[in-house]
Structure 1
Amino acid sequence: MVKQTIQIFARVKPPVRKHQQGIYSIDEDEKLIPSLEIILPRDLADGFVNNKRESYKFKFQRIFDQDANQETIFENIAKPVAGSVLAGYNGTIFAYGQTGSGKTFTITGGAERYSDRGIIPRTLSYIFEQLQKDSSRMYTTHISYLEIYNECGYDLLDPRHEASSLDDLPKVTILEDPDQNIHLKNLTLHQATTEEEALNLLFLGDTNRMIAEVINFSLKEPGSATVRHRVAKTGVGEAKYINLSLHYLEQVIIALSEKHRSHIPYRNSMMTSVLRDSLGGNCMTTMIATLSLEKRNLDESISTCRFAQRVALIKNEAILNEEIDPRLVIKRLQKEIQELKDELAMVTGEQRTEALTEAELFQLEKLITSFLEDQDPESRLEVGADMRKVQHCFHHLKKLLNDKKILGNNTVSSESKDQDCQEPLKEEEYRKLRDILKQRDNEISILSEVRTNQRGRHVA
């Protein structure tokens, strides 16, 4: 179990217009904890007496200024989370910020240049690169893509998406099991065996999202990695639903940051329900606060930073996800049951009468060959308690012995023509086979005597 608070990072978006000096500064204190200071310029309209607060300071794990590229963001923020996912933990990365602050660019990336790829495509590439390096394990990777729009969930990878509008698709609904685990009904999982297949699914989901003319909350699951980013504003008609979702998200954050709070209102919205594990649950979670620090956006940027400070107080407990493969358990139990049946058959004398299959015969003869070739004097021929297999081993050994004798006689006959090339026969191999046969004959005699005595007791 790994206990840690949610990691918070800040990313400053380059301004559309020329940067206004003095609006913010980035410092590191004596503890090497980066801090962002946002400075509010004085407004002359307020007169000579200005009692407004002039600066705000916020702390983050790291602050990425305007010149930070996509590779730097991935290496420092997303790569550690992806590494935890490959180790077996749940992972979440989500971006939070005002409209136009760079959430989509950070998470998904830009389409103009390859270097503008965002966290999701880079994470997919990194995961598949690591899986190819590890040939000792078997991995399966599935992708899903969820959009939350007007408090309804939609599967952006639904195969009917091209021929339907959003409203015609089946809604993704939330189900909760007795252990309070969240399950998303009607959200499809698509297996991706290569990086190309995964990126194609990402492109399909992004295309369907653009067709719907919304930029909302999305969910990406490369393997067990989960990368999510927040809903963005899409228009006047949808703004009230987005603001309501953010209101419920803030309620959850406030409740989690307060000590001794017994009830956390996850169920108030679909977004908070989906993020339940990511916020205060079983997950390694990271938040990126995207900031547009132009003068007209300072109020919302301060609000975003305040939200991030509350998020930083939330503690998650990430548990290593391990489970036993039921197929392997069933296979092992079936083998144990068969061995017990064979032993019971030997004790009771009720032997199985059906013939061994070709596969069973082949396996037995393969075991005999390995046994004879093994130079270890302590090696044993393990065929179980099935008398059919024991008898077949005797017959096969006898056949091998007879074939060896015939081959030996032919060799002697042919080599007598050339005395210089004659070699003495190896009696040691014959003696070994004879000892094995004698030992097995004794075992059969003992078993037969046991069986006779048991039958005699039954008759008496």
Structure 2
Amino acid sequence: MEQFLLDSVPRYQSLVRAFKPPQSNKPTDTTNSSNITVATRIRPMLDDEISSGQVAGVFARKGGSGSVDIHELRKKVRGPPILNSFSFTVDKVFGPDQTTEMIYEDIVQPLVPWVCQGNVGTLFAYGQTGSGKTFTVSGLERLIATSLFDSHLEEKPEVHVCIFELAGNSAHDLLNARQSFSILEDSFGDTQLVGVQDIHVNSASELLQLIERASSFRHTASTEKNDGSSRSHAICRIRVKNPSPDSLDDGILYLVDLAGSEIARDVAAHTANRMKETREINISLSVLKDCIRERAALDAVVATEKSSSSSSSSSSSKRPYIPFRRSALTKVLKHLFDPADDSLSAKTVVLGCINPSFLDVAASKNTLRYAEMLRVVTPKRKQVEFDPNIPTTWTNKDIKNYIEAESGVPKISPAVLAPHESGLQLLRLPVAEFIHRCLQTDGVTDGQAKAFHSKLWDLHIRSQHSTTTTDSSKDSRKSQELWPDKFRSSRDVHPGAHLVPFKERIRPGMVVRWNPPADFALQFQSKHNLAVILCPQQAVGEGVRDFFGHEVGKNKEGQEDSANFQRYLCAIVLPGALADTYEVSLWRQVVIDADEMETEVLLQYDTSTRYYHTTI
């Protein structure tokens, strides 16, 4: 068959020149998964291939469309051979004239800072034997090692590396003379590599030496295309421990050199063990493909549910099943696929390597078909317009403006609380981390930080409720903007009131924190000590008594109180049933001296829980 193809090169080339690529039918309102980039590299023709009369049969389509055309010459029973052409689409296509450095800068380099920020990045290299896969991976490893230790951070990251291979269901440590180890799942659902050496490295050269040492232990076998074809999946796990005390997780970068994707006729030795080995490799690649594709499909479903969460109709999309426990490879990479594991953010790059020779178009089709199936096209989400009442529409600039204007006195530093987060990302920040960032600003108290967090979330909850109702006019929306401060909060409606000391503007409805006398504290076991001012003591009529039975306007001995102009009848504020909530007990009234008042506290009413909470 090869001789027939070599004899038909002139006809093959003329048919290829006459080929007109079909127009793309990709809808304009769709997009690809943002967490998975699928690319392919077409290596240059080698000198020995050219000297033997071979020509290219795989071409990157011009215009950067991500399309690849493959041409296959088919022999007919009668008449001249015909050309069968196939087109495949991926996210990125790198042609023979593009270097490994160009590939690194385009799709791999972004993984390095991503990992240094405590996230997970994974690079898969895939392709048939002789496609230049191992050459490409070696070059990318060198560039990654250089970038990791060429950081501009004041404190260099602490880097640990382990390298191992997976062949079927067996696992071997390539940095420990191929010692076997176990892949186990702990009680928290995390995958543990029990028995693997995790080595601390201090420089790029140390890391590259370990990678070179590991490659000498890798399992290879002879095929028709390569005397030393990789017959196992090699995984280099680089763990980056960030020196920043605010970093909770180590960043992890997985470099996965997948075993050569062969078909049965490519194996030179047709032994039972070799055939079994080939089946295991192809099965693991099939499981990996299913896992990557189903995970991308799951992300698409989740994104669709989030974008439609504001509509009245509930989403009934069936969530894809991800079979990550079917092979050792996907067990190790469980964090990429497990829908229950949302602790780490992951980005994945898949690089399919292609042999361009027209003698290998069958294997190239398999590689590109595999790569194309990893792409999940989803409906493009509509551009979200800014709405001052909906925090999830805020950019980083918008959330910083809100913090500057609404975080109270002293103002919480926007650069510390939200250095790069959008409104949606800040809402997703754990409460403890939110409070911790607020407290980095001098003078900010724990109470102020909690109150600001509650204020932001109250706005978010009300915005979610408002989007489920019919859209109102702009005028009614503007009137709603006044509702939180003017009608739901104890804040003084005068805009400059906060500039006046609170004791000089005491008014009915003001909430104060006060220091009660010792005998009062014994009866009310409350550490909050909040009260709502009702009126001055002298405004109360005769015979009115407080909670203790004392007549208002008289002291404990029943005599007229000469200092009643400094005293106020107040209602006690009690803790609510929910955490950090309060309720006003109007019938529990006490007289409080102005000297016992420590500060004003702003309370805001929550209609959903029917409790008050502190605000700023």
Scaled by the length of structure 2, what TM-score is found?
0.43
2:356 match:
293
- 1:383-425 per-residue CA deviation (whole Å, 9 max, x = no partner) reads xxxxxxxxxxxxxxxxxxxxxxxxxxxxxxxxxxxxxxxxxxx
- 1:111-132 per-residue CA deviation (whole Å, 9 max, x = no partner) reads xxxxxxx1112201111011xx
Partner SS for 1:148: strand
1:120 match:
141
**Which residue, out of 121, 127, 140, partners 2:158?**
140
1:5 Cα offset (Å): 4.2
User: Are 1:249 and 1:272, in contact at CA under 8 Å, matched by a contact in 2?
Assistant: no
| 1:263 matches 2:321 | yes
Look up the equivalent residue of 2:43 and give its one-letter code.
K
**Which residue, out of 199, 207, 211, partners 1:198?**
207
Partner SS for 1:54: strand
User: Are 2:73 and 2:83, in contact at CA under 8 Å, matched by a contact in 1?
Assistant: no
2:367 match:
304
User: Are 2:71 and 2:84, in contact at CA under 8 Å, matched by a contact in 1?
Assistant: yes
2:100 match:
70
- 1:158-182 per-residue CA deviation (whole Å, 9 max, x = no partner) reads 1xx2xxxx4xx3x221111234321
Look up the equivalent residue of 1:192 and give its one-letter code.
V
Pick closer, same or farther for the CA change 1:278–1:101 going to 2, 3 Å.
farther
User: Are 1:217 and 1:228, in contact at CA under 8 Å, matched by a contact in 2?
Assistant: yes
| 1:24 matches 2:40 | no
1:231 match:
259
Partner SS for 1:68: coil
Partner SS for 1:88: coil
Select the structure that is richer in strand: 2
Look up the equivalent residue of 1:249 and give its one-letter code.
L
2:128 match:
98
**Which residue, out of 89, 109, 118, partners 1:59?**
89
Q: Unpaired segments of 5 or more residues in structure 1?
A: 109-117, 324-328, 330-460
Measured in 2, the distance between the counterparts of 1:299 and 1:36 equals 14
1:181 match:
190
1:14 Cα offset (Å): 2.2
Partner SS for 2:73: coil
Pick closer, same or farther for the CA change 1:294–1:221 going to 2, 3 Å.
same
1:41 Cα offset (Å): 2.1
Look up the equivalent residue of 2:78 and give its one-letter code.
G
Corresponding pairs, count:
296
1:53 Cα offset (Å): 7.6
Partner SS for 1:120: helix
1:104 Cα offset (Å): 0.7
Look up the equivalent residue of 1:148 and give its one-letter code.
L
1:240 Cα offset (Å): 2.4
1:441 match:
none
Pick closer, same or farther for the CA change 1:265–1:49 going to 2, 3 Å.
farther
- 1:333-383 per-residue CA deviation (whole Å, 9 max, x = no partner) reads xxxxxxxxxxxxxxxxxxxxxxxxxxxxxxxxxxxxxxxxxxxxxxxxxxx
Look up the equivalent residue of 1:291 and give its one-letter code.
I
Identity of aligned residues (%): 23
Measured in 2, the distance between the counterparts of 1:248 and 1:314 equals 24
Which aligned pairs between 1:365-380 and structure 2 lie closer than 5 A?
none
Partner SS for 1:231: coil
Measured in 1, the distance between the counterparts of 2:125 and 2:360 equals 17
1:151 Cα offset (Å): 2.6
Pick closer, same or farther for the CA change 1:256–1:207 going to 2, 3 Å.
closer
Scaled by the length of structure 1, what TM-score is found?
0.57
1:219 match:
235
Measured in 1, the distance between the counterparts of 2:116 and 2:59 equals 37
Deviates more, 1:60-69 or 1:213-222: 213-222
Q: Unpaired segments of 5 or more residues in structure 2?
A: 1-32, 222-227, 241-251, 298-317, 340-344, 379-424, 431-435, 437-616
Measured in 1, the distance between the counterparts of 2:88 and 2:35 equals 16
| 1:275 matches 2:295 | no
Pick closer, same or farther for the CA change 1:248–1:206 going to 2, 3 Å.
closer
CA RMSD of aligned residues (A): 3.5
2:284 match:
248
2:172 match:
154
1:90 Cα offset (Å): 0.6
User: Are 1:22 and 1:39, in contact at CA under 8 Å, matched by a contact in 2?
Assistant: no
User: Are 1:5 and 1:313, in contact at CA under 8 Å, matched by a contact in 2?
Assistant: no
Deviates more, 1:74-83 or 1:119-128: 74-83
Measured in 1, the distance between the counterparts of 2:280 and 2:160 equals 31
User: Are 1:37 and 1:55, in contact at CA under 8 Å, matched by a contact in 2?
Assistant: yes
1:310 Cα offset (Å): 1.3
1:36 Cα offset (Å): 0.7
User: Are 1:219 and 1:226, in contact at CA under 8 Å, matched by a contact in 2?
Assistant: yes
Pick closer, same or farther for the CA change 1:23–1:12 going to 2, 3 Å.
same
1:20 Cα offset (Å): 5.0
User: Are 1:5 and 1:312, in contact at CA under 8 Å, matched by a contact in 2?
Assistant: no
User: Are 2:35 and 2:346, in contact at CA under 8 Å, matched by a contact in 1?
Assistant: no
1:21 Cα offset (Å): 5.2
Measured in 2, the distance between the counterparts of 1:292 and 1:214 equals 14
1:143 Cα offset (Å): 0.8
1:47 Cα offset (Å): 2.6
Larger radius of gyration: 1
- 1:178-232 per-residue CA deviation (whole Å, 9 max, x = no partner) reads 3432111111100012222222222221223279977331122233222111023
2:73 match:
41
Partner SS for 2:122: strand
